[in-house]
């Protein structure tokens, strides 16, 4: 392995000097150390080479006609921004002002003429090692950032899967409960209506028994698509409530608006004309829907609203199915009923 000790290939050093003889001596000296050498006779050519090729280090003469090394170093930093190779300035100037200027324009280090060759070799080696170390650090950082990004994406996907029903690809019961709780608290502060629509596929057990579970799954997927198409607002939530039951959570929607959407869902599902030979009410798949709507109050639970919607769905089934039933009870009515029920049960 060469003295450059580069793990993959020889380091590429650009020598910039208007003295051809010095360039030749520098080339031979550095090539003996295992480096790959490029040459430029002036600052303009040096910038062109750096723009077109990858360079690991620049050995730059400070005093050149036309564009001097200080100007060249400044433009190199402007051109390559964060990916600037280390610059070892070679100068006959030893005054503090010139040295300060070299560092101000971005030189990494400097050596003076006449060149002391052992010093030059050590400076070159040290600067290249520093560059390799920084490149390795950047590679590791990029790798870590990529891994972090992959991990974050995986976590987002896991969170999504945890709240999505695998069959219908809509929200699952867990997501429904979380969203309903949030919506209740949010609309209690706003004093706005919150509505729920619970839907049940009529005689779905008979459908599965007749056509098989795979066809039943396809039926549920079609019903979910109808619900998603009807409830289009970003604040609406469509969820699989359980089995063949679905639910809509509708923010800022009063009872009349919720009934309208429920009727649309029921009508659109029926228009799918999915055959259901064992249905007792129609030759196609139908839905029963229960609707409830209240203005939430922060001191009470969203379970109150859910219980009303569930009662409405039960009533829709009792009335013959394939219909929408709503309950006009207010929150005060619900609370009063629960208090009365609690009193009766207590007396027992």
What are the residue numbers of the active site?
244
User: Residue 122's Cα: distance from chain center in Å?
Assistant: 47
Residue 197's alpha-carbon distances to 150, 295, 344, in angstroms, are: 38, 15, 30
Residue 204's alpha-carbon distances to 198, 199, 287, in angstroms, are: 15, 12, 10
* Separation between Cα atoms, residue 275 and residue 283, nearest integer Å: 6
3-class secondary-structure state, position 299: coil
Answer whether 62's CB lies under 8 Å from 93's CB.
yes
3-class secondary-structure state, position 15: strand
Answer whether 73's CB lies under 8 Å from 105's CB.
yes
* Separation between Cα atoms, residue 333 and residue 341, nearest integer Å: 12
User: Residue 164's Cα: distance from chain center in Å?
Assistant: 17
Q: Look at residues 97, 98, 80 and name the one whose alpha carbon lies nearest to residue 89.
A: 98
Residue 300's alpha-carbon distances to 181, 182, 196, 222, 328, in angstroms, are: 11, 13, 16, 36, 18
Q: Look at residues 83, 84, 82 and name the one whose alpha carbon lies nearest to residue 73.
A: 84
């Amino acid at each position: 392995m060469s003295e450059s000790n580069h793990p993959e290939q020889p380091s590429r050093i650009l020598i910039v000097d208007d003295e051809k003889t010095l360039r030749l001596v520098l080339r031979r000296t550095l090539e003996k150390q295992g480096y790959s050498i490029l040459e430029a006779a002036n600052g303009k050519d040096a910038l062109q080479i750096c723009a077109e090729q990858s360079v690991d280090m620049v050995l730059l003469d400070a005093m050149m006609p036309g564009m001097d090394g200080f100007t060249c170093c400044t433009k190199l930093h402007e051109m390559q921004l964060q990916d600037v190779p280390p610059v070892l300035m070679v100068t006959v100037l030893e005054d503090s002002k010139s040295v300060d200027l070299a560092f101000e324009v971005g030189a990494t280090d400097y050596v003076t003429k006449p060149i002391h060759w052992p010093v030059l070799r050590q400076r070159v080696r040290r600067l290249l090692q520093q560059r390799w170390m920084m490149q390795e650090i950047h590679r590791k950082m990029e790798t870590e950032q990529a891994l972090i990004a992959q991990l974050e994406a995986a976590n987002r996907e896991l969170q999504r899967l945890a709240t999505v029903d695998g069959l219908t690809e809509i929200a699952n019961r867990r997501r429904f409960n979380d969203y309903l709780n949030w919506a209740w608290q949010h609309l209690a502060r706003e004093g706005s209506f919150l509505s729920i629509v619970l839907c049940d596929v009529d005689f779905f057990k008979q459908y599965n028994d007749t056509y098989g579970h795979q066809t039943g799954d396809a039926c549920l997927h079609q019903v979910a698509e109808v619900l998603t198409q009807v409830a289009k607002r970003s604040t609406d939530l469509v969820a699989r409530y359980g089995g063949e039951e679905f639910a809509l959570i509708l923010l800022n929607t009063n009872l009349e608006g919720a009934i309208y959407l429920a009727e649309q869902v029921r009508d659109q599902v029926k228009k799918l004309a999915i055959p259901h030979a064992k249905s007792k009410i129609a030759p196609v798949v139908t839905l029963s829907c229960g609707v409830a709507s209240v203005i939430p109050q922060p001191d009470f639970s969203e379970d109150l609203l859910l219980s009303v919607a569930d009662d409405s769905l039960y009533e829709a089934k009792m009335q013959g199915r394939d219909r929408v039933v709503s309950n006009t009870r207010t929150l005060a009515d619900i609370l009063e009923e629960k208090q009365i029920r609690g009193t009766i049960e207590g007396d027992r």
